[in-house]
Amino acid sequence: MPELPEVETSCNGIRPHIVERKVSAVEVRTSKLRWPVPDTLEFELVGRTLQAVNRRAKYLLLTFEHGTLVIHLGMSGSLRILKAEEPPGKHDHVDIVFNDDDQRVILRYHDPRKFGAVLWEEDIQSSPLIQHLGPEPLTDAFNAAYLHQQAQKRTVAVKQFIMDNKVVVGVGNIYANEALFMAGLRPTLAANSISKARFQRLVEAIKTVLANAIAQGGTTLKDFVGGDGKPGYFQQTLSVYGRAGLPCTSCATELKEIRMQGRSSVYCPKCQKGR
């Protein structure tokens, strides 16, 4: 599943090709995604100029003067930029065509599992998709004081706590594993048992892991123009995720794996303290 760094890389990859360009056509081949693609999408977009491309949590927000096109990549979605005609494949569900200055550009949405979404919101700030999201992890709003305050009445495990989008957005399973290792916190530790000082280490670790993943995506990204549009995952420098049974990169202790809410959690029994 695309995580925050992959979505951010997708945002950065498509932005320069479509911002300040006018939509000339919309083709919806499959409307039955996670939620139905609006029947009014062509009416809303054709003739309109795209003003900005941004990200909120794992949502890509394409801003027009009168509303926002919201794209979620779901489990397997990706975006491509095409500057020449290319027949759509089986899982190419939506094309947004930009055509001005005699140059045609297609933004193509591809999703084998059809668990993503292409939606239209007139007022994005009041959208139920956005309203209740926590702060972005790479902003000043996400800090130790905030996280400590949010944890006061939460007995849930810290890993589940930081993966809650109402607490902070975009900390998926891979990056939660990595950040907890960097901060020296065991994933099963109760959120309300963690001191503000230890939350400071965790906040710094989350910011570092995500920033590094975004930076790495920028250097290893497959070409969005004519390529498959799928940025590579932050795999080369993973310390614990997917390494159960291997030696810890810090102390050589064997890494342990447990299941938490159906997800793999890998940790070092020596480096990550349980209390």
Catalytic residues: 2-3, 58, 263
Closest by CA position to 20, among listed 67, 65, 55, 52: 52
What's the sign of the alpha-carbon dihedral 39, 41, 47, 48? Answer: positive
Contact criterion met (CB below 8 Å) for 205 and 239: no
Contact criterion met (CB below 8 Å) for 41 and 84: no
Closest by CA position to 82, among listed 59, 110, 61, 63: 110
Cα–Cα dist 139/84, whole Å: 38
What's the sign of the alpha-carbon dihedral 26, 31, 35, 36? Answer: positive
Q: How many helices (H) and strands (E) does the chain have?
A: 6, 10
Q: Angle CA(213)–CA(80)–CA(230) in degrees, nearest 5? A: 35
- Report the relative pairing of strands 67-72 and 117-121 from DSSP bridges: antiparallel
Cα–Cα dist 87/223, whole Å: 18
- Beta-carbon contacts of 148 under 8 Å, excluding residues fewer than 6 positions away, are 194, 195, 196, 199
Cα–Cα dist 265/258, whole Å: 5
Contact criterion met (CB below 8 Å) for 34 and 115: yes
